[in-house]
Amino acid sequence: MKFTLFIIMSGIFSITGPATSADESALKERVSTFIEAGDTRDLSALEEVLHADFRVLVNQFMGGPDVTLINKEAYIGMVRDEKIGGLARSIEFRHLSIHDHTAVVEVHLESEAALFDSFITLVKDQEGQWQVISDAAYFQPKNP
């Protein structure tokens, strides 16, 4: 029974399409747009690159015990109100995983004030456009 279940599950999880260099380039461009739009507080670029169901997930922010979830509306409001964003960050792409119309991009970001490590999930819509649906972020100030 366990062996049969393993074969069935393996078959389900192995149904993926090949990643193309075009997908990789498009994903890096979309992630860069997302990050730079936050850095420059470009609200129209954020509206365009973020999926309607976008969420930020921050676990144990600043040493606290909680998981914080922020939806698209609240995130854009925080950028607009200058509570977040506004500092240029360097981007280092660490890992990219693509499965058909879903991808995860791991990035390391650094500003003059903080370090960030994020797992950014993107989904490809019916028109072939990648949109950021989630950002699981780790934040560490440089001088706590």
| Mean pLDDT in consecutive groups of 10 residues from the start of the chain, 144 residues | 41 44 93 98 98 93 82 97 96 96 97 95 95 95 81
Structure tokens at 31: 């992630």
- Token pair listed for 32: 């860069």
Distance CA 29, CA 130 (A): 10
Q: How far apart are CA 67 and CA 86, in angstroms?
A: 24
pLDDT of residue 62: 67
pLDDT attached to residue 144: 63
Q: What is the pLDDT of residue 19?
A: 59
Domains of the chain (ranges; CATH) run 19-141 (3.10.450.50)
Which residues lie below 8 Å from residue 95, measured CB to CB, with a gap of 6+?
A: 104, 105, 106
Q: Model pTM?
A: 0.83
Q: Measure the CA–CA gap between 19 and 100, rounded to whole angstroms.
A: 7
- For residue 34, the one-letter residue type is F
| pLDDT at position 139 | 87
Residue 111 burial class via C-beta count within 10 angstroms: exposed 0-12, middle 13-18, buried 19 and up: middle
Identify the pLDDT of residue 59: 83
